[in-house]
Amino acid sequence: MNPQRNFSAWPLLCAGLLILNSCASIPKEKRTDSKYLFQQACKPGRVTPPIKEAKGSVWMKAKSTEASGQFPAHVFAKAPGKLNLEITNLIGGTEAIIEVDGKAYSITRGDSKKIEERGYGSWGGIPLTWATDLFLGKIPCPTQPASKLRLKAKTDELEVEALEGKKVVERFVYQFKPIEGELWPQKLHWERKGQEEVAVDFEFDSPEETTLSPLRWEAKSTRGEVKMKWRQRDLSYQ
């Protein structure tokens, strides 16, 4: 046996054992409990007192008709539904300002105060319904009351259907990973049904210790994709 080869493989073996032990520490009944999984899916960023504002600096990568490239940005998000992104260049100059108000957005180029573009519904492939909440540290969850939701659970996976009467209008599929004896939503596939059908795949990473908010996330759809990583983040609470 090669001692060096055996030693170099040891950290990987330990990491694998830690993951297995973490999974084993979560009872099987919890990993398939739809109510528990739904609670865990909607837990990140939803704290007491509620987060009112999030601001700081991020690194973003976008690919869409609204914006493409990799760039730093300053962020100011305020509940409910207000978001300001100041995209800067590497020397700190303003390249563009993107403002979201509810389900509408506007883009101002450079230091000009003239709005050059307006839009509604989505930006960079992200439905504006979720944009502010994502920057506030929340993971998209149904807004309908529990009586209008249908939950289906598998091991470490939850499907939620939002209903209007007997008709499914939204579908959320969460996939979880174990973190410190609990399950945390790592991936989400979201669909909106109806005349304007939309589907987005989200992936979340780096949960913040106290709020469980993802400090890194990405969203992909047929309209574009956005990747975001917090560099510095400050929160204000209600």
Question: In the chain, where are the structural domains located?
Answer: 27-231
Tokens in use for 25?
Answer: 């520490």
Q: What is the pLDDT along the chain (238 residues), one digit of tens a residue?
A: 443 333 344 344 444 444 444 555 889 999 999 999 999 999 999 999 999 999 999 999 988 766 678 889 999 999 999 999 999 887 778 888 999 999 899 989 877 778 888 888 887 777 888 899 999 999 999 999 999 999 999 999 999 999 999 899 999 999 999 998 999 999 999 999 887 788 999 999 999 999 999 999 999 998 889 999 999 999 999 9
Gap between the Cα atoms of 157 and 152, Å rounded:
9
CATH for the stretch 27-231 = 2.50.20
Gap between the Cα atoms of 236 and 54, Å rounded:
6
| Single pTM value for the model | 0.85
Gap between the Cα atoms of 10 and 198, Å rounded:
45
